[in-house]
Amino acid sequence: MRNPVQEYLEQIVAQGGDAGGEVAPYIPELAAADPDRFALCLATVDGQVYEVGESEHRYSIQSMSKPFTYALGLHDQGIEAVARKVDVEPSGEAFNEISVSPDTGRPKNPMINAGAITASSLVAGDSGDERFARALEWYSRFAGRELELDPSIYTSELETAHRNRAIAHMLREFGILDGDPEEVLDQYIRQCSVAVDTRDLALMAATLANGGVQPRTGEQVLEPALVEHVLSVMTTCGMYDAAGDWVTAVGIPAKSGVSGGIIGVLPGQVGIAVFSPRLDPHGNSARGVALLERMSTDMELHLM
Ligand code: DON
Q: Do residues 70 and 93 share a domain?
A: yes
Q: Do residues 179 and 236 share a domain?
A: no
Domain boundary among 159, 192, 225: 192
The count of structural domains within the chain is 2
Indicate whether 273 pLDDT > 80: yes
The ligand 1 atom nearest the CA atom of 95? 10
The answer to whether residue 221 sits within a structural domain is yes
pLDDT per position as a tens digit, 43-72: 999 999 999 999 999 999 999 999 999 999
The per-residue pLDDT for 103 is 83
> Averaged over 134-155, what is the pLDDT?
98
What is the domain range of residue 69?
64-192
If pLDDT is split at 50, 70 and 90, which confidence band does 100 have? confident
26 is in an annotated binding site: no
The answer to whether residue 294 sits within a structural domain is yes
Instruction: Write the ipTM.
Output: 0.98
The answer to whether residue 198 sits within a structural domain is yes
Which secondary structure element, helix H or strand E, spans residue 8, and what is its range?
helix 4-16
3-state secondary structure of 130: helix
Q: What gap in Å lies between CA 288 and CA 274, rounded to an integer? A: 6
Q: Do residues 118 and 206 share a domain?
A: no
The per-residue pLDDT for 104 is 87
Look at ligand 1, atom 11, and give the residue with the nearest C-alpha: 257
3 burial (CB, 10 Å; 0-12 / 13-18 / 19+) is exposed
Q: How far is the CA of 293 from the centre of ligand 1 (A)?
A: 22
Indicate whether 161 pLDDT > 80: yes
Q: Do residues 253 and 204 share a domain?
A: yes
The answer to whether residue 236 sits within a structural domain is yes
Give the other-Cβ count within 10 Å of 229's Cβ: 19
Q: Do residues 45 and 148 share a domain?
A: no
Residue 8 sits in a domain of what CATH number?
Answer: 3.40.710.10
pLDDT per position as a tens digit, 106-139: 999 999 999 999 999 999 999 999 999 999 999 9
pLDDT per position as a tens digit, 183-213: 999 999 999 999 999 999 999 999 999 999 9
pLDDT per position as a tens digit, 226-252: 999 999 999 999 999 999 999 999 999
Domain boundary among 163, 192, 221: 192
3-state secondary structure of 202: helix
Q: Do residues 72 and 221 share a domain?
A: no
Q: How far is the CA of 136 from the centre of ligand 1 (A)?
A: 17
The answer to whether residue 304 sits within a structural domain is no
- pTM for this entry: 0.98
1 burial (CB, 10 Å; 0-12 / 13-18 / 19+) is exposed
Q: Do residues 102 and 166 share a domain?
A: yes
Rounded mean pLDDT of the chain? Answer: 96
- Residues in CB range of 117: below 8 A, 6 or more apart: 107, 164, 167, 168, 171, 177, 184, 185, 188
- 256 C-beta closer than 6 A to ligand 1: yes
Give the other-Cβ count within 10 Å of 148's Cβ: 13
> Averaged over 30-36, what is the pLDDT?
94
Indicate whether 101 pLDDT > 90: no
Q: How far is the CA of 8 from the centre of ligand 1 (A)?
A: 31
Domain boundary among 134, 157, 192: 192
Q: Do residues 87 and 173 share a domain?
A: yes
100 vs 176 pLDDT, higher one: 176
- 194 C-beta closer than 6 A to ligand 1: no
Active-site residues, by number, are 63, 66, 188, 240, 258
The ligand 1 atom nearest the CA atom of 192? 5
157 is in an annotated binding site: yes
